[in-house]
């Protein structure tokens, strides 16, 4: 079956996918960037690799920026643990690649080539890793098979697999079994994930529960974010601050009218609204909507002219985590759309979190609800009383905030477990075992 699956993948699936991508690139800018960005990939990679001098080399692959955030604490820990080590980081998506070009802890930043057998062989010929690390779920069959052929240890970090995943439905399960069988180790987030991988048919010794490095990364980012002083104290004085993070129009349709009702009777209420995409059209649309709701709004870039407005509209990017430090509680967007954004960012500050009904994509969101650290709203009608309770009741905010912080506190430490495991792999490889 292995031969048949790889034949179908390389003769049918990959050519079909390539055709779809070529057509889609005519209409989709992100796909076009990913194709154009790979032109000259091997020549550039070869030039970058020639500059490396360390005796050990680790290849770390992430699909996009979100997965690379999970890899960052691993890379930082490896830098502290090993002096003589080169790190090559690769990406599938253009957003991850473009946003990480200046990341100084990796020696080489590159795209992973499209997953054809010839590309996989050429890529690994150039990289020559002692160990390959894949983050979460971005596994490419031809690259994995080539690593296995060369006896290069390959580990997946932060591995997660839900029991109801399509990857576990036959016959897709059989295909994924033959792909994942090429891995040396699967380091899972939880016991449930480990059980799901075992259900796929994989042998138990290669599956280990380590935890999730995202908790370590959000903790490290919090330390850096707290060094930023973004809001003057005179704005915050005698204010109860509500941060709305990564909002989409569907979120704003619920949160803004609910906040307007709060602001009518509570002059201390301050909302910091951080749209997911702060483009000029988005900002102008929000200003009109907020003014229609009889709310007084000022842009973050104009805070020098602050005059008791009750909404700060953030027109900058990259500062959301730092803004959560000023919040008494927060709303996390995406949960009235395709799926919720990062709930750990407010939780690490020990504040209650509010979000909408579409949060099943986030295990952390569901755990926060179970602990009493987060609250789900489905409409303006139930968002308003929930916000009112959080604005008015300090005891509720304190209890929920402690519950939210406990989730982060209890799960910090996966990075060191991963680095310890990787150290064992490197020792075995050095000794030729």
What CATH number has the domain bearing residue 199? 3.40.50.11720
Residues 271 and 282 in one domain: yes
* Average confidence (pLDDT) over 338-364: 93
pLDDT at 428: 81
433 pLDDT above the threshold of 60: no
Residues 165 and 62 in one domain: yes
Domain annotation covers residue 17: no
> What is the side-by-side order of every strand in the sheet holding 108-111?
108-111, 85-91, 56-62, 131-135, 154-159, 185-188, 207-209
Domain annotation covers residue 157: yes
- Is the separation of the CB atoms in 182 and 161 below 8 Å? no
12 pLDDT above the threshold of 70: yes
Q: How many structural domains is the chain composed of?
A: 2
Q: Tell me, what DSSP letter sits at residue 67?
A: H
Predicted TM-score of the model (pTM): 0.86
Chain mean pLDDT for the chain = 93
Phi, psi of 96 (to 5 degrees): -65, -45
Q: Where does the pLDDT of residue 420 fall: very low under 50, low under 70, confident under 90, or very high at 90 and above?
A: very high
* Token pair of 45 as six digits: 């990679």
Residues 315 and 349 in one domain: yes
Residues 136 and 154 in one domain: yes
pLDDT at 407: 97
> Residue 60 pairs with which residues in a beta bridge?
89, 133
Residues 183 and 301 in one domain: no
Domain annotation covers residue 25: no
* Average confidence (pLDDT) over 187-207: 90
Quote the CA–CA distance of 412 and 416 in Å, as a whole number. Answer: 9
* Average confidence (pLDDT) over 263-269: 93
Angle between helix 414-431 and helix 65-81 axes, rounded to 10 deg: 60
Domain annotation covers residue 389: yes
Domain annotation covers residue 22: no
Of 40, 23, 41, residue with least CA distance to 32: 23
Domain annotation covers residue 286: yes
Q: Where does the pLDDT of residue 65 fall: very low under 50, low under 70, confident under 90, or very high at 90 and above?
A: confident
Print the domain residue range for 245.
227-411
List the alpha helices (DSSP H) in 312-357. Answer: 320-323, 344-347
60 pLDDT above the threshold of 70: yes
Residues 327 and 365 in one domain: yes
Q: Which CATH number characterizes residue 348's domain?
A: 3.40.50.2000
430 pLDDT above the threshold of 80: no
pLDDT at 432: 56
pLDDT in tens, 375-419: 999 999 999 999 999 999 999 999 999 999 999 999 999 999 999
Instruction: Please state whether beta strands 269-275 and 311-313 pair in parallel, antiparallel, or not at all (unpaired).
Output: parallel
pLDDT at 55: 87
Domain annotation covers residue 288: yes
pLDDT in tens, 150-184: 999 999 999 999 888 888 888 889 999 999 999 99
Residues 355 and 311 in one domain: yes
Q: Where does the pLDDT of residue 54 fall: very low under 50, low under 70, confident under 90, or very high at 90 and above?
A: confident
pLDDT at 338: 82
Residues 160 and 271 in one domain: no
Residues 70 and 199 in one domain: yes
Residues 160 and 233 in one domain: no
Residues 163 and 189 in one domain: yes
Residues 244 and 299 in one domain: yes
303 pLDDT above the threshold of 70: yes
Instruction: Give percent of the chain above pLDDT 90.
Output: 76
What are the residues whose beta carbons fall under 8 Å from the beta carbon of 108, sequence distance 6 or more? Answer: 45, 48, 49, 52, 86, 87, 88, 89
Domain annotation covers residue 222: no
Quote the CA–CA distance of 426 and 420 in Å, as a whole number. Answer: 10
pLDDT in tens, 127-147: 999 999 999 989 999 999 999
């Amino acid at each position: 079956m292995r031969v048949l699956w790889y034949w179908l993948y390389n003769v049918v699936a990959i050519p079909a996918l390539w055709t779809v991508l070529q057509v889609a690139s005519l209409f989709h800018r992100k796909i076009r960037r990913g194709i154009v960005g790979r032109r000259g990939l091997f020549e550039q990679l070869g030039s970058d690799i020639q500059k490396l001098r360390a005796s050990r080399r680790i290849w770390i692959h992430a699909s996009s920026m979100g997965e690379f955030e999970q890899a960052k604490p691993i890379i930082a820990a490896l830098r502290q643990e090993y002096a003589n080590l080169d790190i090559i980081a690769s990406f599938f998506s253009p957003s991850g690649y473009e946003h990480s070009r200046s990341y100084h802890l990796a020696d080489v930043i590159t795209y992973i080539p499209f997953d054809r057998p010839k590309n996989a062989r050429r890529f690994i010929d150039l990289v020559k890793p002692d160990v390959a690390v894949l983050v979460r779920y971005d596994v490419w069959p031809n690259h994995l098979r080539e690593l296995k052929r060369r006896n290069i240890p390959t580990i997946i970090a932060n591995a997660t697999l839900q029991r109801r995943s399509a990857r576990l439905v036959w016959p897709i399960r059989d295909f994924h079994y033959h792909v994942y069988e090429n891995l040396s180790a699967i380091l899972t987030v939880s016991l449930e994930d480990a059980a799901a991988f075992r259900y796929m048919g994989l042998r138990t010794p290669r599956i280990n529960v380590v935890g999730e490095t995202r908790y370590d990364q959000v903790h490290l980012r919090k330390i850096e974010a707290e060094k930023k002083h973004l809001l003057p104290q005179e704005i915050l004085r005698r204010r109860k601050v509500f941060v709305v993070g990564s909002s989409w129009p569907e979120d704003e349709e619920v949160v803004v009218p609910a906040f307007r009702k709060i602001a009518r009777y509570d002059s201390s209420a301050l909302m910091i609204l951080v749209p997911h995409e702060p483009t000029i059209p988005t900002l102008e649309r929000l200003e009109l909507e907020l003014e229609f709701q009889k709310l007084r709004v000022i842009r973050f870039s104009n805070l020098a002219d602050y005059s008791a407005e009750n909404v700060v509209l953030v027109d900058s990017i990259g500062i959301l985590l730092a803004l959560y430090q000023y919040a008494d509680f927060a709303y996390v967007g995406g949960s009235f759309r395709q799926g919720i954004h990062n709930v750990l960012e407010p939780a690490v500050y020990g504040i209650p979190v509010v979000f909408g009904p579409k949060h099943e994509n986030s295990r952390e969101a569901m755990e926060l609800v179970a602990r009493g650290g987060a609250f789900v709203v489905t409409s303006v009608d139930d968002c308003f009383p929930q916000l009112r309770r959080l604005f008015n009741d300090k005891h509720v905010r304190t209890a929920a905030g402690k519950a939210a912080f406990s989730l982060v506190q209890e799960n910090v430490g996966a990075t060191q477990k991963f680095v310890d495991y990787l150290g064992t792999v490197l020792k075995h490889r050095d000794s030729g075992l």
